[in-house]
A and B are shown apart, each in its own frame.
Chain A
Amino acid sequence: MHLDDTPDQAAYRAAARAWLTANAKLRSDGDDLAGFRALPDAEKMPLARAWQAKKAAAGYAAIMMAPALGGAGGTPVQHIIYRQEEARYRVPFGVYEIGLGMCLPTLASLAPTLAQRYVPPGIRGEEVWCQLFSEPSAGSDLAALQTRARREGDHWIVNGQKIWTTGAHFSDYGILLARTDADAPKHAGLTMFVVDMKAPGISVRPIRQMSGESDFNEVFFENVTIADSHRVTAPGAGWQGALTTLMFERMNVGADIGLIDWRAAARYSLEHKSDDAVTRAKIADWYIESQGVNLFAYRTLTALSGGETPGPEQSIGKLVTARQSQDVAQFLLDALAEDGALGGEHHGEMWAAVERAWCWGAGMRIAGGGDEILRNVIAERVLQLPGEPRTDKGPRLKTREQI
């Protein structure tokens, strides 16, 4: 029952901290990372590429990946120690997380030949990846997706539409989940592919978000050809592939969503001496939540050291932190009275981040599993409560076009 590093862990942490100190600036209370994501692509992509290449050269870009694929061959504990340290610094954010965190580990796990080709340059930041899962009628209910891939000889022809695809507009490749058997039960008719985002027939249309920025896209497939060699799973085994991706997503333990948290409120209170009982109580409660997620990550780390894998209990992270960023932002804007109606630039250095949290907090409570879905996951997968009655588990319902 302690949080002291072993000598090996302490040495790893010290080296990571020294490297980060030499290569990045510390975050102060109230700093966020989302500001980087808000930069124009022309400005942010070179910075992100340079940072990724640096990390790769130092062995921090893909800590758990096998050395044969360009990774550092490290342990989950090292991966998380590095993440804990990096969270204290202001670093590029929002370009490589999906590729490094989900797409490339999925390839390494399921498709060795594809992994040999794609993982090493992905780690070095030379190629950017996106994840083509969600569709207009298949978000929380992902297995309802309708993008079709039809086999023709040694190729597949893809038609359909994806949506909410983060970074599709600057990505080189994506992992695509498509329906290859319309007659099979809905979870059994899917297959996963690697798709070249520059292939003919793909058009990417950025979606302008509530924040005014465009990180998400609609991606349209019109007779896009994918070689069978770029199939990641066996035909019909795409759902198992997606679960593999999800498992890697859960290694993103203690999920830093890049937005402000209770520290911004504490800083404001200190600077403005707005030290009243309501403020103190709110800061205390937010700290308990936020540090609670941090401590949950330490408990996960302990379990990983014992050979366990992260599971559905990791839903706790974003469920808590996304809501908190929204709450803190609203609280701080309210503290400005009438000025709380004005844009961040009127209030000084910290307030762009507050405005981003006000906007993005709402988005992060939806992205990657909405609050309600996460509660369902906790209830059904952690607490083992009975599932909802399902009408979609038998043979697939016909789409409107088919009827």
Chain B
Amino acid sequence: MNLAFSSEHQAFAESVMRALERACPLADVRAALSQPDWRFHKPVWDKLRDLGVLAAALPEAYGGADDAIALAAAAETVGATLAPAPLASALYLFGLTLLSEGDAESKSKWLPTLARGATIGACYFGSGLRVTNGRVTGSAQPVFDGLAAQALIVRANDGDATSLFLVSLDEGGSIDKRPLRTLDASKPAAEIVFADCPAIRLGSDDGVQRAKDRAATLLAFEQIGGAGAALAIARTYVSDRAVFGRAIGSYQSIKHALADVWVKLETARGHAYYALWAMNSNGDDFPLAAAAAHVSASDAFEMAARVCVHVHGGIGFTWEAAPQLYYRRARALSAFLGSTQAWRDDLGRRLIDGERPRR
């Protein structure tokens, strides 16, 4: 047993971290908040491509390295630096869903370009779309990273049932994209209106939960990265800032708030590691593990960000300080896969029904 990143994966994560810090200081993240049609941070995306992050989790046959652990290690640094890159849409969701549910031709067409960073994909599992005679029509919103995406996997009604479809946005029909204002504008979303766009059926919508479980697992690493960074920023601030002649971090009310964040963070880290193992080993307990990872990581990041804002006092409520960026990102990542309450409810039901982790 070894519930930790190997030294190779740690070294990989450190190199990604250094590259992201250089490519995208927090000032860039803040600047993105003021750009209404923001898509993503191109230098970050190029850097992730150059370092092999985009290809990491894909099979070697498609130009990948077949190493989901490397992607998870990198995800933690993306979360920590807040680098605005559509990793979750393009890889955790689109890439891994296509890999799992797609036909050979679609995989050959899209996966190598994903690995090269030449394509951005996204997913939409909400309602509002229907497919007739192989063409999709309707309105989808919110589609995260929809403005940047050249290909989408969507859930649509095709008569009797709901299925998953692959839609390429450059193959005819009419597509209208409109940006939607998001609480974290560095993580953009769009409304996409389809009219008679060619759609390839991938499979039944049983694939949706599998897709979400994989995405939840990898996203949890971004979330613990973000929570760890928010805790570190809060820790530094309360150790330096003095009132009534003492560093505020010496007051128990502040100490205990940060200790509680640490407990939440380390709890979430354990669940993220476990879910990654369950995913990679095709464990029967993967759905249980993914739900626990997503709920605990969402709780940890939102709590860490909230405490980070709060212990900064007035500074924490300013535009220029770092905490608001973490506060916004925490919300964006929690919402990315639906209501955390729904995940929590599903987890509770599984436990009552007797599902248990292998370890």
Contact = CB atoms under 8 A, between A and B. Distances in A.
Interface of A: 1-6, 9, 262, 266, 269-270, 275, 277, 279-285, 287-289, 291-296, 298-299, 301-303, 305, 313, 316, 319-320, 372, 374-376, 378-380, 382-389
Contact of A291 (B231, B266, B271): B271
Nearest to A280: B348
B197 interface: no
A320 to B, nearest CB: 7
B238 A301 contact: no
B106 to A, nearest CB: 30
A295 to B, nearest CB: 3
Contacts of B274: 3, 291, 295
Contact of A389 (B4, B231, B250, B349): B250
B349 A288 contact: no
B336 interface: no
Given A5-B1, A301-B1, A303-B4, A378 B277 contact: no
21 contacts: A1-B3, A1-B72, A2-B2, A4-B1, A275-B349, A275-B352, A280-B352, A288-B299, A289-B267, A292-B268, A292-B271, A295-B267, A295-B271, A299-B3, A299-B269, A375-B252, A383-B231, A383-B259, A385-B238, A385-B247, A388-B250
Nearest to B261: A383
A316 B266 contact: yes
Given A270-B354, A320-B267, 14 more contacts: A1-B273, A2-B2, A2-B277, A4-B281, A281-B348, A294-B270, A295-B3, A295-B270, A295-B273, A298-B3, A298-B359, A313-B266, A316-B263, A379-B249
Chain B interface SS verdict (over half): helix
B271 A385 contact: no
B109 interface: no
B351 interface: yes
B347 interface: yes
A80 to B, nearest CB: 10
Given A376-B255, A389-B250, A299 B262 contact: no
Contact of B256 (A5, A375, A382): A375
Contact of A288 (B267, B280, B359): B267
A380 B345 contact: no
Interface in B49-82: 69, 72
A379 B311 CA distance: 14
Nearest to B348: A280
What interface size band does chain B fall in? 35 or more
Chain A interface SS verdict (over half): helix
A60 B270 CA distance: 28
Interface of B: 1-6, 9, 69, 72, 231, 235, 238-239, 246-247, 249-250, 252, 254-256, 258-260, 262-263, 266-271, 273-274, 276-277, 280-281, 291-292, 295-296, 299, 341, 344-345, 347-349, 351-354, 357-359
B250 A372 contact: no
Given A3-B274, A298-B1, A302-B3, A266 B351 contact: yes
B252 A3 contact: no
Contacts of B5: 1
Given A2-B277, A383-B235, A319 B263 contact: yes
Contacts of A1: 2-6, 9, 69, 72, 273, 276-277, 280
Contact of B1 (A3, A270, A294): A3
Counting chain B CB atoms within 10 Å of each CB, which of A9, A269, A303 scores highest?
A269
B316 to A, nearest CB: 17
B223 to A, nearest CB: 14
A376 B252 CA distance: 7
B55 to A, nearest CB: 19
A387 B4 CA distance: 31
A288 B271 contact: yes
B190 to A, nearest CB: 32
Given A288-B271, A388-B250, A3 B255 contact: no
Contacts of B269: 299
B108 to A, nearest CB: 29
8 A-B pairs closest in CB distance: A280-B348, A295-B270, A292-B267, A379-B255, A284-B348, A378-B259, A284-B347, A375-B259
A326 B217 CA distance: 31
Nearest to B1: A3
B156 to A, nearest CB: 29
Counting chain B CB atoms within 10 Å of each CB, which of A4, A270, A295, A298 scores highest?
A295
Contact of B270 (A266, A292, A319): A292
A3 B281 CA distance: 10
Given A316-B266, A378-B259, A386-B247, A299 B4 contact: yes
Contacts of A280: 344-345, 347-349, 352
Nearest to B341: A281
Contacts of B296: 288, 292
A285 B343 CA distance: 11
A281 B1 CA distance: 31
Contacts of B351: 262, 266, 283-284, 287
A338 B280 CA distance: 49
Contacts of A376: 252, 255-256, 259
A143 B271 CA distance: 38
A378 B296 CA distance: 20
B267 A284 contact: no
B116 to A, nearest CB: 26
Given A2-B1, A295-B273, A375 B255 contact: yes
A2 B358 CA distance: 12
Nearest to A84: B359
B266 A287 contact: no
A315 B359 CA distance: 22
B255 A282 contact: no
B267 A380 contact: no
A9 B1 contact: yes
